[in-house]
Amino acid sequence: MREYVICSYYLYDNQLETDYIILSDNERFIDSPFNEIYTLKNNLGETDEFREKSIKLIVDACKFQTKYSKCLLIKNEGFMKNVLIKKTHNPLYNGYDIVWDEEKSGINPFEYKYFTIWNIGKSSGSMYRIQEHSSNRDFIIRDNILNSILDEV
């Protein structure tokens, strides 16, 4: 199993779910579609049409971004999870590790510099730098190789 921490952050309990993940090399991506989603939400309200159009805006922004740098939009299908690491004075706001399962996703997130989480219908996303944690992946891979060698002996 190749599961490892890609970054740590503080979240409110209502932010724990993640519908989509955007991996990119450009930190400026974050603003472009979200301003349009905010306007769209004000015009259409919380409707199915709004949710569909917000997804299309994110997809189009990623497609546009790939002209200039790497960008990948993926639906979170259980390969990313938040693991509680630190409780704070506010029971609704705590520290979490983002744990990534590379076998389930088929993606090495450290091929990118930024990790953005987004939920359908939200007019903002949360972006994090992930390069600082790339050694976590290297250690897990090394340990898995060593364990498989020891299992053969």
Report pLDDT digits (tens) over 113-135: 888 888 888 888 888 887 666 66
Q: What is the mean pLDDT of residues 32-56?
A: 90
Query: What confidence tens digit (pLDDT) does each residue in 62-107 have?
Result: 888 888 888 899 999 999 999 999 999 998 999 999 889 988 999 9
Check residue 1 and give its pLDDT: 56
* pLDDT over 70 at 136, yes or no: no
Contacts of 114 (CB under 8 A, 6+ apart): 22, 23, 24, 25, 26, 27, 29, 127, 128, 129, 130
Helix 32-44 vs helix 48-65: crossing angle, to nearest 10: 170
Global pTM value = 0.78
Check residue 149 and give its pLDDT: 78
Check residue 49 and give its pLDDT: 94
Check residue 66 and give its pLDDT: 81
Using an 8 Å Cβ cutoff, are 123 and 46 in contact?
Answer: no
Check residue 26 and give its pLDDT: 77
Query: What confidence tens digit (pLDDT) does each residue in 7-33 have?
Result: 888 888 878 888 999 998 877 665 678
Strands (E), the chain: 3-12, 20-24, 71-75, 80-87, 93-101, 114-118, 126-129
Q: What is the mean pLDDT of residues 132-151?
A: 70
User: Residues, the chain, total?
Assistant: 153
